[in-house]
Structure 1
Amino acid sequence: MARFVLVQARHPFQEKEQENVAADCLHVRMGIQYRGLFQMILVLGIGGSFPYGFHISVINYPSLHIKKFINETWLERHGSPLPQENIVLLWSCIVSSYGIGGLLGSVCCGYLTTKYRKKKCQMFANLITLTAALLMGFSKMARSFEMILLGRLLCGVGIGFSFNIHPQYVGEISPKKLRGFTNATVAVFLTLGKVAGQVIGLGEILGSESLWPLLLAFSGLTVTIQLVTLPCFPDSPPYLLIQKGNEDAFQKAIRQLWGEGDHQAEIDDIKREKAAMSCTKSLRVLEVLRAQSLRGQLYVMITVMTTLQLCGINAIYFYSSEVFRTAQFEETLIPYVALGIGISECLSSILCSSLIERFGRKLLLWGGYAVMVLVLAALTVTLSLQHRFFWMHYLSVIFIFLFVIFYGIGPSGATISVMVEIFNQTYRPSAFVIVGFINWMGLFLLGMIFPFAVEYLGPFCFLIFMGILAVSSVIIYLYVPETKGKSILEITAEFNKLNYGKKQVFLNNFPKETVLCTKL
């Protein structure tokens, strides 16, 4: 006799709703479990890449007031005004001293973080930046423009330290499944710093003639918050186990940052890395440059870091004001439209942090480069024809926003993640000395050369950036392995295929001595 079973059919929308509820519950559980990790990400960001972005954007707002202050101070001291060319020279020194200090800080950082640990060096960097903020904040009261110059230099040194330490630290405290997200937060806080500088620098807030010293000193508040709160958090678990050999502190840091869940697979990966690194020496910077086992990693690092500096984002920010004026925006509205560009970059960087674990680093890099090439090509056309067709101005504005958005979604966050993940614990400090050198020298050289490129090439200067982006996109697509969800040893094995070709390579085939040094 046949038996009939009544099965209740579920509507597809009900299944989708249940899946969404399950996903929301998972996110809530992760937020609770990794609460310590997210808190530390916030603390590292607010005193790490945030001040770097802040001081990139904020210095243009008080420029007229500082030049006037320099002239007034000189007049009080010597009884005669300072020639205009000398004022411009002093202002150029004030602006460029930040980059010089950043270069000094990043070069010294590798050796000091290896010897004295990242947490202690980060707090030392906070003290330097706080001293710089106080010098700039009291410069007007002391009637000394030299304090601004010295403050900018020290600010660069402190932020050079912080911007070197922040990506390494945040990459080492996260589990594999969250590593892309945590690395991308470096770019998020950097863009938040840019936006904060644009907002606070408005004349209605701190960009006025009477309050500009407080504007320059604002970063002292953020580093003070980090200086007070960072001692409540541990050093990174890999550092505690691999370099300090402290099993108890390692387990305690895991529990504080990752909660009480099952992390045995992650712990085993770190222990395997320790075993592989037990007979590995920490190479100096010049030794890293010569090491065949790191040749592929170095090529990738130099490619992505150079492209980040020469992708055209700084040129876009430079050109945006001229485009807005040509599009007949009112002069009083231009700072707010420029603020819209900064907010677009910030929001797209936040989006990148949520997409990077889904699509991987490689796709975001080469795909982002490719789309940026197309947008730059379209922007070059509209800028060239803007005097023939009035509506080209508005297309140019749209393409500027699109370029910034695709930059934030792709290279901005993925670059940091790749650079952190392709080097192991012992080589990373020396590698980031090279990263810092490329970053700060790139800023300096771009600031020196770009105005001449604009003068002679006009909008066709973007063709240079298009060529760099196109070449980098091909290199990333062909040669860079995906690092998503892989341990350091797995990533190293991928690069060994590039470094040694068909030769048989063993991960433990390293020099037997151990030397912790990142001097040149």
Structure 2
Amino acid sequence: MESRKHIRSFVNQTWQLRYGAPVDDATNQIIWSFIVAVLSLGAWAGAVHSGSLPVTYGRKKALLFNNVVAIVAALIMLFSRTAQSFEMILLGRFLYGYNVGLGLSVHLMYLGECSPKKLRGVMTLTGSIFIGFGKVMGQIIGIKELMGTEEMWPYLLAISGVPAVLQFVTLLFFPETPRYLYIDKGDAEGSKKALQWLWQEDNLKLELDDMQKERESTQGEKAKTVKDVLTSRCVRWQLLTLIIPCAGVQLCGINALYFYAFDIFRESGVPEDQMHYLSIGLGATELITVTLCSFLIDRAGRKKLMGYGYLLMGVTMCALTVMLSIKDLNSWVPYVNIALIFCVICIYGLGPSGVSMALPADLFLQAWRPSAYVISGTVNWLCMFLVGMLFGYIVNGLGQFCFLIFVAYTILSAAFLIYFVPETKGKTMIEIMEDFNKLNFKNRAADTEKTDVDLATQF
């Protein structure tokens, strides 16, 4: 909130310095909107490259390169005020977006390929946990008492370069992923050494056997392209299981909820200068529940957490829509609405938010996985861009009834996940593939069985 005011003021000062007149409100709004939206475009570009870079250079080198991008972005943002250039903010935001889009996919790929199957869900969920942690930290350090000031906003924009430096340095001591070394490069000895370093165990026969089976099943296959994933029948149900929840992260209504939260807080009598503290509370709630999800994901399973999570989100948002429609009937109704907002955020953190990040590592074999991450990243960031562009018009047209659009999506997603998708908890990649093949080739199996019966009858 504070940094937005200071950046828009900087844009106005820069414009006046160049052209001798202040920027008009419409132009300032367009520049600010593009500063916000360019992050999504950069993230999409990063997601597209998340399929080729980790295949060509390996997961570790792709992450190292990605951290260099973040460090460059931080430096550009840091010196934007000195150079009197708001275009540097745009460029820095685009590079930050690229860093997020590429890094999120490759980071999850790295974790998924380094983890034992019993910890695969927990490890991939750390991505969601640290995203939630980053949101809360950004909200905290962005308050006016800390870095949300006229003097400090360039440092606030550049602070994301600090974790990039830390990750770059620490990654130098980590090995390449064992599955990449064994399955993609055929380096059995290097894979074994990486496993021993990561797991600190000597008995690795089961994991090496699993990788051997996966390598044999994809022997001679090149890494699949995005077109292969989109058109191949053998991963059709995996693709549906990936796209629906990944789109749901943006289309489940969580951004609408954050938008409406401030209006509801205001109606409840919360002072305007206290709003940012409540926004920290919302972010902290999401962080706590995503962290709790990490303890549940390998016990309850992905299917239940996502399916019933979407179902409960839909039901709670239905109740919220009703309560928003009668908010003027009684003074206690806004407080009920606040409670419902926190309920939806809790459900979102416990299920859909975290579990969706574990899906590409769970659903796809090695040859298909990089392109699966491209698709999941593309769906996520394009949906985010569309929601950002269209949501204002939807709210203006429908008011609180805009939640009903998200309710329909969450209910349909819940039905699909609960009734059609097999569980992946505690299974090897080959076992997961066999489960999905029963769906991918269901009709073909039925046709084969019918043919066998007909032939048997004839003889």
Provide the TM-score with structure 2 as the length reference: 0.95
| CA deviation after TM superposition for structure 1 residue 175, in Å | 0.2
1:288 aligns with 2:229: yes
State how far apart, in whole Å, the 2-side matches of 1:124 and 1:417 are. Answer: 23
Correspondent of 1:153 among 94, 118, 128: 94
Q: Deviations over 1:75-109 (max 9, x none)?
A: 12221111111111111111111111111111122
Correspondent of 2:322 among 381, 385, 388: 381
State how far apart, in whole Å, the 2-side matches of 1:109 and 1:297 are. Answer: 19
Q: Deviations over 1:163-194 (max 9, x none)?
A: 12111111111001111111111111111111
State how far apart, in whole Å, the 2-side matches of 1:152 and 1:286 are. Answer: 30
Correspondent of 1:181 among 122, 136, 147: 122
1:365 aligns with 2:310: no
Identity %: 42
Match of 2:451 in 1: none
Match of 1:73 in 2: 14
How many corresponding residue pairs?
446
Amino acid at match of 2:278: V
Q: Which runs of 5+ in 2 are unaligned?
A: 447-459
| CA deviation after TM superposition for structure 1 residue 355, in Å | 0.6
1:423 aligns with 2:401: no
- Does structure 1 conserve the Cα–Cα contact (< 8 Å) formed by 2:55 and 2:223? no
Where 1:333 maps in the other structure, the secondary structure is: helix
| CA deviation after TM superposition for structure 1 residue 262, in Å | 2.7
Across the aligned residues of Structure 1 and Structure 2, the Cα RMSD in angstroms comes to 1.3
Q: Deviations over 1:465-515 (max 9, x none)?
A: 11100001000011110000101111000111111115459xxxxxxxxxx
Correspondent of 1:321 among 262, 266, 278: 262
Correspondent of 2:187 among 243, 246, 249: 246
Match of 2:426 in 1: 485
Stretch deviating more after TM superposition (217-226 or 143-152): 143-152
- Does structure 1 conserve the Cα–Cα contact (< 8 Å) formed by 2:74 and 2:157? yes
User: Runs of 4+ in structure 1 displaced over 6 angstroms?
Assistant: none
Where 1:110 maps in the other structure, the secondary structure is: coil
1:450 aligns with 2:391: yes
Correspondent of 1:199 among 133, 140, 159: 140
State how far apart, in whole Å, the 2-side matches of 1:346 and 1:261 are. Answer: 35
Amino acid at match of 1:116: Y
Correspondent of 2:66 among 100, 125, 130: 125
Match of 1:54 in 2: none
State how far apart, in whole Å, the 1-side matches of 2:190 and 2:2 are. Answer: 46
- Does structure 2 conserve the Cα–Cα contact (< 8 Å) formed by 1:418 and 1:483? no
Equivalent positions of 1:303-322 (< 5 A) are 303-322=244-263
State how far apart, in whole Å, the 2-side matches of 1:328 and 1:210 are. Answer: 32
Amino acid at match of 1:164: S
| CA deviation after TM superposition for structure 1 residue 437, in Å | 0.9
State how far apart, in whole Å, the 2-side matches of 1:80 and 1:367 are. Answer: 56
Q: Which runs of 5+ in 1 are unaligned?
A: 1-59, 506-520
Match of 1:271 in 2: 212
State how far apart, in whole Å, the 2-side matches of 1:255 and 1:87 are. Answer: 56
Where 1:142 maps in the other structure, the secondary structure is: coil
Q: Deviations over 1:251-279 (max 9, x none)?
A: 11111111125332122111111111113
Equivalent positions of 1:89-238 (< 5 A) are 89-238=30-179
State how far apart, in whole Å, the 1-side matches of 2:308 and 2:300 are. Answer: 11
Match of 1:48 in 2: none
